[in-house]
């Protein structure tokens, strides 16, 4: 069967690999339909990794996928052949201390598809078919758009960030950085009851996407560097900031506009940042990280399938897997693309 395998930076090949195994007890085989190109896929593609995580062997990319169940292993009762599913790429061990505490996303022996953190690498999901534990496949209604369902994983990241912020009802929220994660955070914050959502970035195209998904105000900090200044008045006027860019200047600017006892949720990853501790202490600012997701994956998949959260404005284009090089080129151009997906032929 076909798989999209990265051998080295910019050496992406549509390889022929062994067929997906017959499912064992508690497993299913899924024919992959759509897969979204994520920022981490782009880091592997352009740079061979990020930080200390480096590609050391050929690895199939991809962790944002949907598909159709084609075979069931013994004991699987919650799925049927032909079911449409969103595939959760996260497989915690279930037995370590963090898993037992209900913090499975901090599992000490986590396996995450399309990651070079382990060696041998955990192969990604840009494959014609995958066999995996049935618990990783979330059943969706028969009419579900599988392209939209493939956005369940990044939406889950944003639902987890929003859930960690507590109640947003009546709150003024700033989303800093309006790439796919920022825009999905806008959708998640609105669903959670945020009263006003302000979005900031330095690129006009992504701000247009932020407006399309429901931001009340968008601030182009490249065209107007002082646009956040009014929100810094009176010790700050923002209740909660979701910092999704990982850029140090953006994080520092976000701290400046938070009201006393406001909350900054760091979602994006970037370089280390020296923090203005005096301001944090004097205004009692709360700073919190948000990492991946757990139970939010199923919630995200069902919210997309029901239309309760409409992610369709973020889907730029779907290209066949045979045109993967063009798909990665388009996904790399943030002036033209928000979310680009690869489609595999139907089984």
What tens digit of pLDDT does each residue of 213-248 get? 999 999 999 999 999 999 999 999 999 999 999 999
- The fraction of the chain above a pLDDT of 90, given in percent, is 97
Fold exhibited by the domain 2-151+311-343: Quinone Oxidoreductase; Chain A, domain 1 (3.90.180)
Residue 122's beta-bridge partner residues?
A: 115
pLDDT greater than 90 at residue 90: yes
pLDDT at 286 over 90: yes
Residue 183 has pLDDT above 90, yes or no: yes
Q: What is the mean pLDDT of residues 186-209?
A: 97
What are the percentages of helix, strand and coil residues in the chain, rounded to 5?
30, 30, 40
Domain ranges of the chain: 2-151+311-343, 158-289
Asked if residues 157 and 38 have their Cβ atoms less than 8 Å apart, the reply is: no
Residue written as token pair 């061990």: 93
The whole-chain average pLDDT of the chain stands at: 97
Report the pLDDT value the prediction gives residue 316, as an integer from 0 to 100. 97
Looking at residue 347, its pLDDT comes to 80
- Find out whether 327 and 136 touch, Cβ atoms under 8 Å: no
- What's the token pair of residue 40? 């981490």
Residues paired with residue 30 on neighbouring β-strands, in sequence order: 69, 130
Between vectors from CA 174 to CA 168 and to CA 178, what angle results, nearest 5°?
Answer: 120
Cβ 73 vs Cβ 24: under 8 Å? yes
Residue 51 has pLDDT above 90, yes or no: no
- In angstroms, the CA 245 to CA 210 distance is 14
Please tell me the distance from the alpha carbon of residue 186 to that of residue 194, in angstroms, as a whole number. Answer: 9
C-alpha to C-alpha distances, 215 to 45, 232, 270, 312, nearest whole angstrom:
31, 19, 24, 15
Residue 168, pLDDT > 90, answer yes
For domain 158-289, the CATH architecture is: 3-Layer(aba) Sandwich (3.40)
Confidence label for 337 from pLDDT (cuts 50, 70 and 90): very high
Structure tokens at 239: 């209740």
Average pLDDT of the residues in 149-174: 98
| pLDDT, average across residues 59-71 | 98
Label residue 167 exposed, middle or buried (CB < 10 Å: 0-12, 13-18, 19+). exposed
Residue 61, CB-side half-sphere exposure with 13 Å CA sphere:
33
């Amino acid at each position: 069967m076909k798989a999209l395998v990265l051998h080295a930076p910019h050496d992406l090949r549509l390889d022929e690999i062994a067929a997906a195994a017959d499912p064992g007890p508690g497993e299913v085989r899924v024919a992959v339909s759509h897969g979204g190109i994520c920022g981490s896929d782009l880091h592997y593609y352009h740079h061979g990794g990020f930080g200390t995580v480096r590609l050391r062997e050929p690895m199939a990319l991809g962790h944002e996928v949907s598909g159709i169940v084609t075979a069931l292993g013994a004991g699987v009762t919650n799925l049927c052949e032909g079911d449409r599913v969103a595939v959760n790429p996260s497989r915690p061990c279930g037995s370590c201390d963090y898993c037992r505490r209900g913090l499975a996303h901090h599992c000490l022996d986590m396996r995450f598809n399309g990651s070079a953190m382990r060696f041998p690498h955990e192969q990604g999901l840009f494959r014609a078919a995958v066999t995996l534990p049935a618990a990783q496949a979330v059943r969706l209604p028969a009419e579900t758009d599988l392209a939209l369902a493939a956005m369940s994983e990044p939406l889950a990241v944003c639902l987890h960030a929003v859930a960690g912020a507590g109640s947003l009802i009546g709150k003024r929220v700033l989303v800093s950085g309006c790439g796919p994660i920022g825009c999905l955070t806008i959708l998640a914050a609105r669903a959670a009851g945020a009263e006003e959502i302000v979005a900031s970035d330095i690129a006009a195209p992504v701000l247009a996407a932020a407006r399309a998904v429901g931001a009340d105000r968008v601030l182009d900090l490249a065209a107007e560097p002082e646009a956040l200044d009014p929100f810094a008045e009176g010790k700050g006027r923002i209740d909660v900031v979701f910092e999704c860019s990982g850029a140090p200047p953006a994080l520092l600017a976000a701290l400046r506009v938070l009201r006393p006892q406001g909350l900054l949720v760091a979602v994006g990853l970037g370089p280390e940042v020296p923090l203005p501790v005096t301001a944090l202490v004097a205004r009692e600012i709360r700073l919190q990280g948000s990492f991946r997701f757990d139970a939010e994956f199923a919630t995200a998949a069902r919210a997309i399938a029901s239309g309760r959260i409409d992610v369709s404005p973020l889907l730029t284009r779907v290209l066949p897997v045979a045109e993967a090089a063009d798909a990665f080129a388009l996904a790399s151009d943030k002036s033209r693309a928000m979310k680009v997906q690869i489609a595999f032929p139907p089984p």
